[in-house]
Chains A and B, each alone.
Chain A
Amino acid sequence: MANFSKSPVPQFTAEVYQNEYLPEGAGEVNAIVTVTSTGGGTTGSHPGASASSAAVVIMVDCSGSMDYPPTKMRNAREATAAAIDTIRDGVAFAVVAGTHKAEEVYPGNGRTAIADPATREQAKQALRKLKPSGGTAIGTWLRLADRLLSSADVAIRHGILLTDGRNEHEKPEELRAALDDCAGRFTCDCRGVGTDWEVKEVTGIASALLGTADIVADPSGLEADFRQMMETAMGKEVADVSLRLWTPKGTRIKYVKQVAPTVEELTDRRVEAGPRAGDYPTGSWGDESRDYHVCVEVPPAGVGQEMLAARVSLVLPSADGGAPQVLSQGLVRAVWTDDMAASTKINAQVAHYTGQAELAQVIQQGLEARKAGDLDTATSKLGRAVQLATESGNEDTAKLLAKVVDVVDVATGTVRLKQKVADADEMTLETRSTKTVRVKK
């Protein structure tokens, strides 16, 4: 018998990992907050997002370059069809063709269609109209997606964006403005197909719209990737969740970042939420777990004192504009002690994610130096990356690094830059540099 009393919102838990003990005079408090939501759509026990509360728009790059090679357009079309097949009955959806302007491909009436066998079939038929020609102005695609998504009265709004080239037909400020307008209105996963697109552009869009970014170097891989992406989107259960940080007077938030599954800097995305509290957007959640690194500076207190450095909660805005719903809460504490054994211990989680954040940074710096021809810096940064990736068990990143450098000695991080590196390998490393692994148990 169905349990109708079950809350539509999944259960959130927040666990705090930290060494709360500080030596006399110290004031920096570090904590990893693991947020886990369960009871969402992907467990199977629950039908997932009540289908009528979600909408999704697929944006397919149809610029002229998609014809080189012609398989690219064909693969994009097939991938989009596979994604459409994955859309659940009752979900609102639309398909947009993106060039130097955005065009509705389906349903084409300025609104979204409701998924059922017939509309899915019609949408797939409409994909035949996709013809490569024209330029690339991604800002216009996002603005159209936003209009279509907001036409549906739904809680979860999601976009899927595919591009194969640089955003050449609008100014960077125009894309920036479009992102600013769309941020918080829908989430968007981005994929770059081939190797002619700009990694920073695509990861920047995904980051601003709280989605994932990845490379699909070989167009034949698109179909599986699109189906996977849509399945994840269909598993989202609750949107607009914020990480709320309350900190006492006299403290300073040094940084807040998501550190798993990817490194995502959140510090500057704070929205004030009452006295000494601020919200950091986390987008929509299905059955998943994410880790956040919170670093707070507190005024040093005497030995034996204890204070709360931060109260971390997950909040959901209420539909009627009232007080937000607190989904879960954790406390970050500071306790001053003269016990050196206690205060010098570094929490394993904090140490691990400090390393993972450094890993992402040295990969980006190393690749940048390599492009700029500063081979010494590139060698040392990427060597450090090899060391960090191996130490922390981030095997995927270690493998990607091995395609860019020849590893001489893992332990010391001694590497030689490879003479010839495939564009795809370099772009894959750059795109996935922020992917982290969790602490080995």
Chain B
Amino acid sequence: MPQLTVCPSCAERLEPEDKFCGNCGTDLAAAAVASARKPWQPPAHADGSLVAPRTGEPAAGRPAPGYGPPPPRQEPDTAPGDYGLAPPELSAAATPYQAPRPEHSAPGVVPRAGATDPREVLLTEGDSPARPCVACGTGTVDPDGYCGHCGHAQPRERDHMEEELAGVAAVTDRGLRHHRNEDAFAVCTVDLPDGGPAVVAVVCDGVSSAARPDEASAAAARSASASLRTALADGTAPREAMHQALLTAAEAVNSLADDHDPDPDANAPACTCVSAITTGDLLTVGWIGDSRAYWIPDDRTGEQPARLTEDDSWAARMVEAGLMSEAEAYADVRAHAITGWLGADAVELDPHTASFQPDRPGVVIVCTDGLWNYAESAAELAAVVPADAREHPLRSARTLVGVALDGGGHDNVTVAVLPFPTPQPG
């Protein structure tokens, strides 16, 4: 649940453990959720059309301005060697970004950072057995998580989570149309054997049509991150570590299927996975499914933002095979059907990895389709990434989540922002 730092009614300063405002008595649990669910103000743009709300369907015939350079050449995972990003191209659509107003669009709402520690959740829940309901404000919440008066489900820890470390920030949100958050992320920093820092972000999107997608994404994010942490600390090359991490995450999701499932007809738990690692001057991405990573350089005027991943999706396959144009493929109802995923039902496990050596500063955006449905091309995304994203990754991640919610929030949305190069500690 988002945490309020000031009372939304009287602007009294609050402590994190406050349940009611000490000045005016406002019910903070209800207020926090109500304000978190408010539509966000769109950031001001020179060209507002870039963030026009989309309803989750790829818009047919919609111009895909500067759809960007061809996706990064993927080398065999065993092949050594990295390559630099394509030279910048001018893109009319990559309009200069105007920073959003410094204050948050939902006044006073500063979601609590790093609220992912489950022990903390247990403590807060144990401390307040009689929390008031966020839906009706009248009833108290029963131990099974529903209001004892109106029956409404209460916000869950995973509805909105944030985490920020040196060199990375991530935010995930349930969105406005789904009843639970089936996305998950994990971030970590690793000390490399050579003394330099490595930063890792993993983002996973549970497959809704399968059983327990929320568990699948959580397991994949957790195990991929743990695998990367160990491998990188041992001096494993990033691409090799990435390949291994995707296999490890797939294994973790597969093992969920062994459990007894109440619904035997449902597909085995499944999810997508995309990760990015920054190490020194190297940027490495790896993915399975249709969650994406983008490169957004600081200098939006000359440099070319780029999508670093290639979806395992029906539409991408059609385009790749030359059977359909991009516009045709994304207009099809099957466009978003994924052709690769982690899970016991996966036909084949084909982890993709790629490394880049950007020659200038910028940020890596790692996200689920809950975001890129509203800013599909690299140029569109670049237009909504704050100009100071590299200095304020958490605020930028929140802004991007806001873009998705503002666009309709049809899906869960998860965004990780990694500044490049990695800021040196101290």
The reply on A408 being an interface residue by CB < 8 A is no
Known: A331-B144, A339-B208. Contact between A304 and B178, CB under 8 A? yes
Q: A249 vs B135: C-alpha distance in the bound complex, in angstroms?
A: 12
Known: A304-B178, A304-B179, A337-B179. Contact between A250 and B152, CB under 8 A? no
The reply on B73 being an interface residue by CB < 8 A is no
Q: Is the beta-carbon distance between A304 and B177 smaller than 8 angstroms?
A: yes
* A304: contacting residue among B150, B151, B174, CB under 8 A: B174
Chain A residues whose CB sits within 8 angstroms of the CB of B177 once the complex forms: 303-304, 337-338
* A307: contacting residue among B152, B174, B175, B208, CB under 8 A: B152
Q: Is the beta-carbon distance between B208 and A248 smaller than 8 angstroms?
A: no
Q: Is the beta-carbon distance between B176 and A307 smaller than 8 angstroms?
A: no
Q: Tell me the A residues contacting B by CB distance below 8 Å.
A: 247-251, 298, 301, 303-309, 311, 331, 335-339, 341
Q: Is the beta-carbon distance between B150 and A305 smaller than 8 angstroms?
A: no
Known: A331-B144, A339-B208. Contact between A307 and B178, CB under 8 A? no
Q: Is the beta-carbon distance between A306 and B150 smaller than 8 angstroms?
A: no
Q: Is the beta-carbon distance between B178 and A308 smaller than 8 angstroms?
A: no
Chain B residues whose CB sits within 8 angstroms of the CB of A308 once the complex forms: 144, 146-147, 151-153
Q: Which residue of A lies closest to B180 (CB)?
A: A306
Chain B residues whose CB sits within 8 angstroms of the CB of A335 once the complex forms: 179
Number of A-B contacts defined by CB within 8 Å: 56
Q: Which residue of B lies closest to A309 (CB)?
A: B151
* B151: contacting residue among A307, A336, A337, A341, CB under 8 A: A307
Q: Nearest-CB distance from B180 to chain A (Å)?
A: 8
* B176: contacting residue among A248, A304, A306, A309, CB under 8 A: A304
* B147: contacting residue among A248, A251, A298, CB under 8 A: A248
5 A-B residue pairs with Cβ-Cβ distance under 8 Å, sorted by A, are: A248-B149, A248-B152, A307-B153, A308-B146, A308-B151
Q: Is the beta-carbon distance between A248 and B151 smaller than 8 angstroms?
A: yes
Chain B residues whose CB sits within 8 angstroms of the CB of A249 once the complex forms: 136, 139, 149-151
Contact residues on B (Cβ < 8 Å of other chain), bracket? 20 to 34
Chain B residues whose CB sits within 8 angstroms of the CB of A305 once the complex forms: 152-153, 179
Q: Which residue of A lies closest to B149 (CB)?
A: A249
Q: Nearest-CB distance from B139 to chain A (Å)?
A: 8
* A251: contacting residue among B139, B151, B174, CB under 8 A: B151
Q: A157 vs B177: C-alpha distance in the bound complex, in angstroms?
A: 53
Q: A305 vs B176: C-alpha distance in the bound complex, in angstroms?
A: 9
Q: A306 vs B179: C-alpha distance in the bound complex, in angstroms?
A: 6
Q: A248 vs B144: C-alpha distance in the bound complex, in angstroms?
A: 14
Q: Nearest-CB distance from A341 to chain B (Å)?
A: 8
Q: A301 vs B152: C-alpha distance in the bound complex, in angstroms?
A: 10
Q: A298 vs B175: C-alpha distance in the bound complex, in angstroms?
A: 23
Q: Is the beta-carbon distance between A247 and B151 smaller than 8 angstroms?
A: yes
Which residues of B (173-189) have their CB < 8 Å from a CB of A? 174-180
Q: A336 vs B179: C-alpha distance in the bound complex, in angstroms?
A: 8
Q: A335 vs B179: C-alpha distance in the bound complex, in angstroms?
A: 7
Chain B residues whose CB sits within 8 angstroms of the CB of A309 once the complex forms: 151
Q: Is the beta-carbon distance between A306 and B144 smaller than 8 angstroms?
A: no
Chain A residues whose CB sits within 8 angstroms of the CB of B152 once the complex forms: 248, 301, 305-308
Q: A248 vs B154: C-alpha distance in the bound complex, in angstroms?
A: 14
Chain A residues whose CB sits within 8 angstroms of the CB of B146 once the complex forms: 248, 307-308, 311, 331
Q: A393 vs B136: C-alpha distance in the bound complex, in angstroms?
A: 46
Q: Nearest-CB distance from B116 to chain A (Å)?
A: 22
Q: A306 vs B178: C-alpha distance in the bound complex, in angstroms?
A: 9
How would residues 304 to 337 of chain B score, 1 for a CB under 8 Å from any chain A CB and 0 otherwise? 0000000000000000000000000000000000
Chain A residues whose CB sits within 8 angstroms of the CB of B180 once the complex forms: 306
Known: A304-B175, A308-B146, A338-B177. Contact between A298 and B151, CB under 8 A? yes
Q: Nearest-CB distance from B133 to chain A (Å)?
A: 10
Chain B residues whose CB sits within 8 angstroms of the CB of A337 once the complex forms: 177-179
Chain B residues whose CB sits within 8 angstroms of the CB of A307 once the complex forms: 135, 146-147, 150-153
Q: Nearest-CB distance from A64 to chain B (Å)?
A: 58
Chain A residues whose CB sits within 8 angstroms of the CB of B208 once the complex forms: 339
How would residues 171 to 206 of chain B score, 1 for a CB under 8 Å from any chain A CB and 0 otherwise? 000111111100000000000000000000000000
Q: For the complex of A and B, list the 10 residue pairs with the smallest distance between their C-beta atoms, beginning with the closest.
A: A248-B151, A308-B146, A306-B153, A308-B151, A307-B151, A306-B179, A307-B152, A304-B177, A335-B179, A303-B177
How would residues 330 to 370 of chain B score, 1 for a CB under 8 Å from any chain A CB and 0 otherwise? 00000000000000000000000000000000000000000
Chain B residues whose CB sits within 8 angstroms of the CB of A250 once the complex forms: 150
Chain B residues whose CB sits within 8 angstroms of the CB of A338 once the complex forms: 177
Q: A251 vs B146: C-alpha distance in the bound complex, in angstroms?
A: 15
Chain A residues whose CB sits within 8 angstroms of the CB of B176 once the complex forms: 304
Q: A336 vs B139: C-alpha distance in the bound complex, in angstroms?
A: 21
Chain B residues whose CB sits within 8 angstroms of the CB of A341 once the complex forms: 209
Q: Which residue of B lies closest to A250 (CB)?
A: B150
Q: Nearest-CB distance from A31 to chain B (Å)?
A: 14
Which residues of B (145-163) have their CB < 8 Å from a CB of A? 146-147, 149-153
Q: A164 vs B147: C-alpha distance in the bound complex, in angstroms?
A: 54
Most A-side CB within 10 Å, residue of B146, B149, B209: B146
Q: Nearest-CB distance from B57 to chain A (Å)?
A: 12
**With A304-B178, A308-B153 given, can you name 12 additional A-B contacts, CB distance below 8 Å?**
A248-B152, A251-B151, A301-B152, A303-B177, A304-B174, A305-B152, A306-B153, A306-B179, A307-B152, A311-B146, A336-B179, A337-B178
Chain B residues whose CB sits within 8 angstroms of the CB of A247 once the complex forms: 151
Q: Nearest-CB distance from B388 to chain A (Å)?
A: 32
Q: A87 vs B147: C-alpha distance in the bound complex, in angstroms?
A: 49
Q: Nearest-CB distance from B155 to chain A (Å)?
A: 10
Most B-side CB within 10 Å, residue of A306, A309, A338: A306
How would residues 58 to 77 of chain B score, 1 for a CB under 8 Å from any chain A CB and 0 otherwise? 00000000000000000000
How would residues 94 to 138 of chain B score, 1 for a CB under 8 Å from any chain A CB and 0 otherwise? 000000000000000000000000000000000000000001100
Chain A residues whose CB sits within 8 angstroms of the CB of B149 once the complex forms: 248-249
Known: A304-B174, A331-B144, A339-B208. Contact between A248 and B179, CB under 8 A? no
Chain B residues whose CB sits within 8 angstroms of the CB of A311 once the complex forms: 144, 146
Q: A19 vs B149: C-alpha distance in the bound complex, in angstroms?
A: 23
Chain B residues whose CB sits within 8 angstroms of the CB of A301 once the complex forms: 152
Q: Nearest-CB distance from B333 to chain A (Å)?
A: 12
Which residues of B (190-236) have their CB < 8 Å from a CB of A? 208-209
Chain A residues whose CB sits within 8 angstroms of the CB of B153 once the complex forms: 305-308
Q: Which residue of B lies closest to A301 (CB)?
A: B152
Q: A309 vs B150: C-alpha distance in the bound complex, in angstroms?
A: 9
Chain B residues whose CB sits within 8 angstroms of the CB of A304 once the complex forms: 174-179
